[in-house]
């Protein structure tokens, strides 16, 4: 166990490390239903350990984890499509289906591919084994006519003429997968798999009268979908400034540069109408913790979804950190580790990770800039308790710098 960190008595860092270690070493029976999403659970645990600075824990498991991750890569290249599966069940089903003349193949998915790339980056793999061309084709085939993205290729049939037979506009596509597509493009440094203008049209049509974003046009504004929209726009703005997408890609839409000014404005809530309304909607989600929608109970996962959105907009100073931390500590399991959705509930990997990721953006847990030490109230320099997270990619800033050469 990694030591040397003085932690507040209410934050059980050591127990959280053990919690994620147990999940990686053998997912409890209570979470067996999550097997189809196993890669996402692995990502939560690996990134959680990274934010907790549990370097030895990750190093000990690195070889096994990297080998497991690459075993999920899609190697059946119909139309050149690649990407990653979510679990060994998909891989096993493919092996059986290939033996049948009428077998079908579950396709790789965007959320699974995103979780896989994040995990490899955190484990400091150089991504040389990643089929980038296949991922580019996955993005191209996954984008719908509306500009959104489908979560997975529904059915990959052995007969190429029926490749997309069951793949229609009715199949699940929403803001979650728009975000996954943007994050994947950022991590592979290749945006050529996305029709950017179509995607921007979908994002802005999903904006509601309140200022936030829904999963799809005409739906209810939500904290999770708002994060996905904000992070997608933020990553696209970053790509635009790096010359990876056309500089005029947003000419028909609200300016990305006004939404995310290169220099922090003197008045945080100043700028475009869209920016001010968005910040207002996000700030109003705080009770003690954050809620995902008006008149809904606080939920620990929104510590990240709302907190990271405000961070990208340069408006995190509006957060009442003391009250937010107090709520999060009520959802903490101080015996076995992890965080739950609500107080007095059972902890789970998703809420444990997203709560810790959100807390890493607070001054009492993360340093204000990268890995610099914090200064206590007594003026004594001390290491940050958590590695600060990159709010757009949801991996540590340290690992995103190693991937991209600089912080997004």
Domain boundaries along the sequence of the chain? 1-71+327-408, 73-115+130-174
Tokens of 80: 């050149």
Other Cβ atoms closer than 10 A to 129: 11
CA 119 to chain centre: 11
Per-residue pLDDT at 218: 97
In the block, tokens 């990694």 appear at 2
pLDDT digits (tens, 9 = 90+) for 354-389: 999 999 999 989 755 444 444 343 444 457 899 999
| pTM for this model (two decimals) | 0.91
Alpha-carbon torsion (380, 386, 387, 392), positive or negative: negative
Per-residue pLDDT at 81: 85
Residue 158 has pLDDT above 70, yes or no: no
Name the more confident of 162 and 53. Answer: 53
Angle made by CA atoms 248, 254, 259, in degrees to the nearest 5? 100
pLDDT digits (tens, 9 = 90+) for 104-143: 667 789 999 999 999 999 999 999 999 999 999 999 999 9
Q: Which residues contact 125 (CB under 8 A, 6 or more apart)?
A: 66
Residue 2 has pLDDT above 60, yes or no: no
Per-residue pLDDT at 166: 46
Q: Give the separation between CA 281 and CA 92, rounded to whole angstroms.
A: 45
In the block, tokens 């800033």 appear at 397
Q: Determine which of 102-106, 142-146, 149-153 has the lowest per-residue pLDDT on average.
A: 102-106
- Are 396 and 384 contacting, i.e. CB atoms less than 8 angstroms apart? no
């Amino acid at each position: 166990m990694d030591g040397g960190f003085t932690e507040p008595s209410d934050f059980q860092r050591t127990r959280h490390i053990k919690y994620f270690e147990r999940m990686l070493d053998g997912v409890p029976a209570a979470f067996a239903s999550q097997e189809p999403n196993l890669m996402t659970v692995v990502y939560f645990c690996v990134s959680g350990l990274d934010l907790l600075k549990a370097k030895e824990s990750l190093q000990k498991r690195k070889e096994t984890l990297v080998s497991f991750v690459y075993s999920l890569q899609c190697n059946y290249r119909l139309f050149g499509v690649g990407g990653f599966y979510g679990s060994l069940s998909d891989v096993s089903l493919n092996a059986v289906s290939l033996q049948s003349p009428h077998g079908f193949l579950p396709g790789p998915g965007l959320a699974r591919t995103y979780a896989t790339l994040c995990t490899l980056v955190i484990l400091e793999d150089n991504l040389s084994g990643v089929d980038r061309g296949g991922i580019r084709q996955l993005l191209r085939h996954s984008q719908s006519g509306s500009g959104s993205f489908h979560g997975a290729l529904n059915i990959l049939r052995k007969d190429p003429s029926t490749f997309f037979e069951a793949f229609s506009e009715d199949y699940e596509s929403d803001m979650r997968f728009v975000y996954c597509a943007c994050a994947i493009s950022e991590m592979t440094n290749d945006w050529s798999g996305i029709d950017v203008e179509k995607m921007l049209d979908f994002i802005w049509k999903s904006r509601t009268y309140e200022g936030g974003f829904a999963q799809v046009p005409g739906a209810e504004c939500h904290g999770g979908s708002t994060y996905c929209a904000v992070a997608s726009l933020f990553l696209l703005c970053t790509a635009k400034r790096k010359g990876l997408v056309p500089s005029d890609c947003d000419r028909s839409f609200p300016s990305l540069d006004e939404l995310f000014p290169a220099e922090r404005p003197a008045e945080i809530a100043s700028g475009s109408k869209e920016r001010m309304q968005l910040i207002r909607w996000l700030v109003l989600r705080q009770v003690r913790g954050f809620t995902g929608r008006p008149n809904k109970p606080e939920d620990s996962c929104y510590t990240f979804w709302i907190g990271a959105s405000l961070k990208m907009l340069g408006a995190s100073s509006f957060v009442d950190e003391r009250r937010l931390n107090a709520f999060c500590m009520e959802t903490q399991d101080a015996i076995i580790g992890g965080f739950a959705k609500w107080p007095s509930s059972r902890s789970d990997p998703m809420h444990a990770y997203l709560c810790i990721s959100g807390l890493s953006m607070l001054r009492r847990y993360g340093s204000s800039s990268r890995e610099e030490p914090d200064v206590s109230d007594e003026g004594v320099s001390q290491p940050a308790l958590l590695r600060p997270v990159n709010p757009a990619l949801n991996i540590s800033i340290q690992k995103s710098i190693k991937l991209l050469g600089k912080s997004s």
